[in-house]
Structure 1
Amino acid sequence: MSSPAFNIRRYGPSSNVDQHAFAQWVVPLRGELAFELEGRGARLDRLQGAFVAPMAGHAQAAGEDDRFLIVDCPAALFDDDTLDRLRRQPVLALPAPVRAMAQRVGATARPQMDAATVQRELPTLLQAFSLSGSATRLQAVCARVERSPGEAWPVERMAAAVGVSASRLHALFREAFALSPQAWLSASRLRWARARLADSDNAIADIAQHAGYSEQSALTRALRREWGMTPAEYRRRHRPL
């Protein structure tokens, strides 16, 4: 492809593995996406997106009401260091400016954005995930939390992983994500639990424990507050046919 493109898409309950020669960002607008990239699974939602490097195999599944901003981008727009970093760590904590940009674009109700919109909004993505982006230094610790959300993650541990004080970590998270570190941790735990509810037969109490909740009722409260349903209801709705 010769120029970037912004598209609003929906996905069905399954897809074949796809590959393409251009880079691509996946930014959820509504709902969530079960995403597989080069054999690695992830669950994407409004706080977490993904970067698909050129020729990386990927597949996805979503509900019919879920919507996503898909940004196709020529690989030539990236310097080698940025492209390599995104290739190695493709699941991305979405900075607040990126989430706001996605909502602006999604509010237009057009499936494909015109060239003027692309030219105006693309710099937000390029800057957010550049080496100097406000969230770049936090991506590694966010990825560690995402892999093991059930572990104990006091702010001091997260701060040590970044190499800053606890107070500085709070400031960095607020600047990058408009969230506190503990709010990000809570979202990661709920995301992990949702994935296990959808793709396993594990007991709900076991899922809650391994996600880091003190008891099943804590998971139930969190899921009902954020998604309007109990764990059992979520499992029935999202279990593959």
Structure 2
Amino acid sequence: MSATARHLRRYLRPTGLECHDHAQWVLPLHGDLQFEVGGAGGSLDLLQGAFVAPGESHDLEALGDNCCLIIDCHPGVLDDDTLEHLCRQRWLALSRDIRRQLQDIHANGVGMDPLPQLLRYFAPAGSGARLQALCMTIAAAPGADWTVARMAAEVGVGGSRLHALFAREFGLSPQAWVSGARLRWAKRQLLAGTAGISDIALRAGYSEQSALTRALRRETGMTPRQWRLAGSSLGQYAQG
């Protein structure tokens, strides 16, 4: 048996809880997906993937058309330190170079194995270690006051250096990354419960509900109410 297996998958309905004895990378190529692993929930898109440790229960639900690259890593592929690090990290802030390789896979099918590049970036001493920690801190509390000065202090660099690091690794400014994290969190909250839209907007870090509406409409063409209704319709379809 090969040490790794790669699959392109599209999800038409919730997967239900799954659990297996191998590690798995879940890397979106297209669309938005809601993902839960080890009891923690998050949203996956072109900027964020996920890592599943062996034995962790997980499930996935997509909203609309989607495609993911799934990489199964069988025992022995990842050393203990890397496995422990990735298990703690869980959510993967995908660099520009990784996104380019994933888009090539989306366009041309599974070819070159992306695992070496993923490990160069996400391993404990990988090139993305400093920014990855910051991105996951932002993702955990997107509504906080994430000024450039605060983000730079988290990484231990000056503001101009932080801008250079984000531009090199993600092709984005730090503020653009925060904006993406806020919208990702808000989209999940809109689908996950019945909290008021204005409350979700404020908790996500938007100054008012209209700011969330503008951001969501730019990305999806939907208002927050339409996004929530689309998710409700998907849930009813999946149960039918």
Separation in structure 2 between the aligned mates of residue 215 and residue 222 of structure 1, nearest angstrom: 11
The amino acid across from 1:99 in the alignment is: R
Separation in structure 1 between the aligned mates of residue 123 and residue 55 of structure 2, nearest angstrom: 21
User: Is the CA contact 2:31–2:64 (under 8 Å) kept in the aligned structure 1?
Assistant: no
Q: What's 2:54 paired with? A: 54
**Aligned partner of 1:207 among 197, 200, 203:** 200
Separation in structure 2 between the aligned mates of residue 209 and residue 63 of structure 1, nearest angstrom: 24
- Count of residues in correspondence between the two structures: 234
% identical aligned pairs: 51
Separation in structure 1 between the aligned mates of residue 167 and residue 5 of structure 2, nearest angstrom: 30
User: Is the CA contact 1:18–1:58 (under 8 Å) kept in the aligned structure 2?
Assistant: yes
Are residues 1:217 and 2:210 paired? yes
Q: What's 1:192 paired with? A: 185
**Aligned partner of 1:134 among 102, 127, 130:** 127
Q: Deviations over 1:74-93 (max 9, x none)?
A: 34222222111101111111
- The structure-2 alpha-carbon separation of the partners of 1:67 and 1:189, relative to structure 1 and needing over 3 Å to count, comes to same
Are residues 1:160 and 2:153 paired? yes
User: Is the CA contact 1:101–1:124 (under 8 Å) kept in the aligned structure 2?
Assistant: no
The amino acid across from 1:136 in the alignment is: A
Are residues 1:23 and 2:23 paired? yes
**Aligned partner of 1:122 among 104, 111, 115:** 115
Separation in structure 2 between the aligned mates of residue 29 and residue 201 of structure 1, nearest angstrom: 29
What TM-score does the superposition give when structure 2 sets the normalisation length? 0.92
User: Secondary structure at the residue paired with 1:66?
Assistant: strand
User: Is the CA contact 1:197–1:231 (under 8 Å) kept in the aligned structure 2?
Assistant: yes
What TM-score does the superposition give when structure 1 sets the normalisation length? 0.91
Q: What's 2:163 paired with? A: 170
Are residues 1:102 and 2:102 paired? yes
- Where do 1:5-84 residues align within 5 Å? 5-84=5-84
**What's the CA shift for 1:64?**
4.8
Gaps of 5+ in 1: none
Range with greater deviation from structure 2 (181-190 or 58-67): 58-67
User: Secondary structure at the residue paired with 1:107?
Assistant: helix
The amino acid across from 2:77 in the alignment is: L
What RMSD over aligned residues (CA atoms) do the two structures have, in Å? 1.5
User: Is the CA contact 1:17–1:58 (under 8 Å) kept in the aligned structure 2?
Assistant: yes
Q: Deviations over 1:157-209 (max 9, x none)?
A: 11111111111111111222111111100000001110111111111111111
User: Secondary structure at the residue paired with 2:29?
Assistant: strand
Range with greater deviation from structure 2 (131-140 or 197-206): 131-140
